[in-house]
Every structure is written in C-alpha cells, then in structure tokens.
Amino acid sequence: TSGYETLAAFPIGVGRSPPFNEEILHRNGIPSLQYLLMLQIKGFPDRDWATVCELAERLQAKHHGVVALISRCEEIDLVKRCVSRNDKRRVEVKLTENGEKLLEQLANLHRSELVSLKDEFMVPVQLTSRRAS
C-alpha cells in the first residue's frame, strides 16, 4: 500500500477524523473535510480516482453531502469530475494539479504529526502513490 492509502485508512466516523492538528489545516486555509476528501481520493487502492458513492462510503457521509463537498473543492480547483472512459454513466473524481500539491504538503505535515503516535498507529515510511495504468 502507498503512504496515502495508509493515511486514508484511519477510521473517520461521525465527528472523527485521523489524528491531525486542525490548526495546521486552518493555517493552510482548508477545512478538514476537504483534506479528508482529497486524502480518500489519493489513498484509494490501486487507482488515482474514486466515484462519489465510494467517497461517501469511505467518508461515512450521505451521497448528497459528498456531492456538495466535491462541488466546493471543484470551485477552488482541488478536484475535478470526469466521465469514465470505460462506463459513461460513471463519474470519476480526481485531484487536480493544485489538489495534488496541497495534499502532498498537508499529508507530509500529517505524517510528521503521526510519528509521535507511532506506537499506537502504523505511520507510512514515505508518501508514494501507485498509479493505475
């Protein structure tokens, strides 16, 4: 698994997110839900996109709430929706170049914070991603 998959695998639940300092997100101008959305996309196993339904399941949120979250992230150029080449009925949500850069910066800060909790959690050695072909 990639480092992003490891970070994305933390249980989220209602009102719960992976251990991460909200102040870091605030200083970087991004709400925690937007960070979690980007992390779930990047950390989706074996590909660099996810469907709205998959994201709703992973974020443990309602479909319409995730659609609204995706729209907010799309407005600030963090994610984009693309019609699948394999199934025209499916929409794939992907990170934009800006989303990739911001996520990398935040995930590295997140990883650093988790190092102090390494006895309780598995901390990724490095943040690498696998790209689907």
Whole-number pLDDT of residue 88? 86
Indicate the range of 47-61, 62-76, 108-122 predicted with least confidence: 108-122
Task: Give the pLDDT band (50/70/90) at residue 16.
Answer: very low
Whole-number pLDDT of residue 109? 82
Q: Which helix (H) or strand (E) holds 22?
A: helix 22-27
Q: Which residue has the tokens 């249980």?
A: 11
SS3 120: coil
131 or 106: which leads in pLDDT = 106
Task: Give the pLDDT band (50/70/90) at residue 26.
Answer: confident
End-to-end CA distance of the chain: 16
- In the predicted structure, residue 14 carries a pLDDT above the cut 80: no
Instruction: For the chain, give the percent of residues with pLDDT over 90.
Output: 47
132 or 14: which leads in pLDDT = 132
Tell whether the torsion through CA atoms of 55, 99, 73 and 36 is positive or negative.
positive
CA 15 vs CA 19, 73, 114, 126: distances in Å: 12, 20, 19, 28
Whole-number pLDDT of residue 13? 41
